[in-house]
Chains A and B, each alone.
Chain A
Amino acid sequence: MLDRLAIRSFCNQVVSGAVAAAFIVAAAGLKPGCLIAQETAPAQQPIPAPPAAPRPATLPAAPRFVVVLDAAHGGDDGGGKFGSLLEKDLTLALSVRLRSLLAARGIAVVTTRESDASVVPERRAEIANHAAARACLSIHATQTGSGVHMFVSSLPPQDPARIAAWKTAQSAWVTRSLALEGVLNSALLQAGMNVTLGRTALSSLDSMVCPAVAFEFAPAGGQKGEKPATSLDDPAYQAQLAEALAAGLLAWQAEARQP
């Protein structure tokens, strides 16, 4: 059952921002199975939404374009172990690099972690949902396959609902997530990357209420049985990935600005 006091307290925090049009109902610390309620004005997208009251005689301020970078794993959860490399370190390195590139291009970035800290999947989704992000990128690394693998939630697309289940909140955003994946795919292909696309079930991704893509990078080049051309921790490779992703997110921003 929902704790009304917790909801009210939470709403007071979130609605204090002028553009915040969504709030999350957290039951007992956002356990799986709790609910997300989206409070939206009629004919508005659930998140993000324009200001509640239009300003007469002035152009409405453009909503801030926020990108959430979720460096997977961290702390006790090392993720995959690839020889001496840990997935948590690789994802954080790419997240930090990409954050710098995006900030330099004037894009507001929210990260789920900035250090080797444990962040549970529910908290990652909570951070993304609070940010009212226009794009959420969950960053992973693997030794399997080659190039880049991008995934969108395998939840079936559904129309936005006022009340959405926590574990399937992403279903209202799957269509936008597929569009974001397409834009990022184009940018990565232009950068000469080998990209495979798919759908997956990731608990943090499934609870996000934003266009969300899981981005997994594997060593570049090197077919089956061959030694990969680049290592996962190769700075040049990571820089190339970050540049391509930044270009993709800029293209996504430009697309979002179009009427």
Chain B
Amino acid sequence: MSPAMSIVRRIQTWLFILLLVASAAMGVVLWQLRERAHQRLLAGQDSAPTQAPVVSPEERATLMVANDADSSMQPRELTLPLPQDDGSRARVILGKLLDLYALPDATHPVPGGAASIGQVFLLPAENLNGSPAASAPARNAGPAEASIAAARGVSVANSGAGQKNTAAAAQDGGPELAVVNLSSAFVASHPSGIEAETLTVLSICATLHANLPRVTQVRFLVDGQARDTLAGHADLTRTYLASDAMPTEGTNP
């Protein structure tokens, strides 16, 4: 073997070793970056559920908390930071209600917590006797507009006139329909049973009505889609009258 060849082979060997070390080092760095990204993701999930902005002023809210033991609902007053926008405010309040249900010693245990409330859309309420008030889009109009319209059974084609009606209704302070978009994870983990499902639905309706008295009707979506039942029993295709969900003294809902 010539000296030149020997030098080339030595350089090749060193180059190979260098590349091997570089590959191993890159592997370690990539692993650390992956771990860091995973931690960041987890931290993001922890803070995601409807945390009200810290700048929001603290206000009193009333939660209608269900109790499986006697099939009742009891009001519970809380002070928490609430956004000014009604839709966001409704979402924060319902998130707090579901946080209570996710606690280990909950009177109405339902896993999921605040992350189970996707959005709450507020629309002018329809006359349930058949005369549609306005084919209006949601005040939080966005990509879910079509789903909300589907929940109401109206078309989104005439949204121009609808927006005017919505604005007018909002200014007038007329009755409103709340469309609550639940997560499919919440529905999948919800305990099955007429009592459990009815209490969840009614406590959401009653909590909305207690804090936003203009909300007179409530409908439910799951991941933006209409769904037949909550967990096999409670009908989610119907429009619930929020005032009917409010318990009267000494009676069950």
Contact = CB atoms under 8 A, between A and B. Distances in A.
A202 B194 contact: yes
Interface of B: 68-71, 107, 191-196, 198, 201, 228-229, 231-235, 237-238, 240, 244, 252-253
B198 A77 contact: no
A200 B194 contact: yes
Contacts of B194: 140, 142, 149, 151, 200, 202, 214, 216
Determine the interface band of chain A, counting residues with CB < 8 A from chain B: 20 to 34
Contact of A200 (B68, B198, B231): B198
Interface string A16-57: 000000000000000010000000000000000000000000
A87 interface: yes
A4 interface: no
Closest 9 CB pairs of A and B: A142-B193, A80-B192, A201-B235, A196-B71, A144-B196, A200-B198, A149-B195, A144-B193, A145-B68
A216 B192 contact: no
Contacts of B196: 142, 144-145
A144 B240 contact: no
A218 B192 CA distance: 11
A141 B192 CA distance: 9
Given A197-B252, A198-B252, A203-B235, A145 B240 contact: no
User: Which residue, of B196, B237, B253, has the highest number of chain A Cβ atoms within 10 A?
Assistant: B196
28 contacts: A80-B192, A80-B193, A80-B232, A81-B192, A144-B68, A145-B69, A149-B71, A151-B194, A151-B195, A151-B198, A167-B238, A196-B70, A198-B71, A198-B252, A198-B253, A199-B253, A201-B201, A201-B234, A201-B240, A202-B194, A202-B233, A202-B235, A203-B235, A216-B193, A216-B194, A223-B69, A224-B68, A224-B107
Interface in A58-105: 73, 77, 79-81, 87
A157 B251 CA distance: 18
Nearest to A78: B232
Interface string A185-227: 0000000000011111111001000000010101000011000
B252 A140 contact: no
B235 A143 contact: no
Contacts of B240: 201
Given A144-B195, A196-B70, 7 more contacts: A73-B232, A80-B191, A80-B231, A140-B194, A151-B198, A223-B69, A224-B69
A200 B69 contact: no
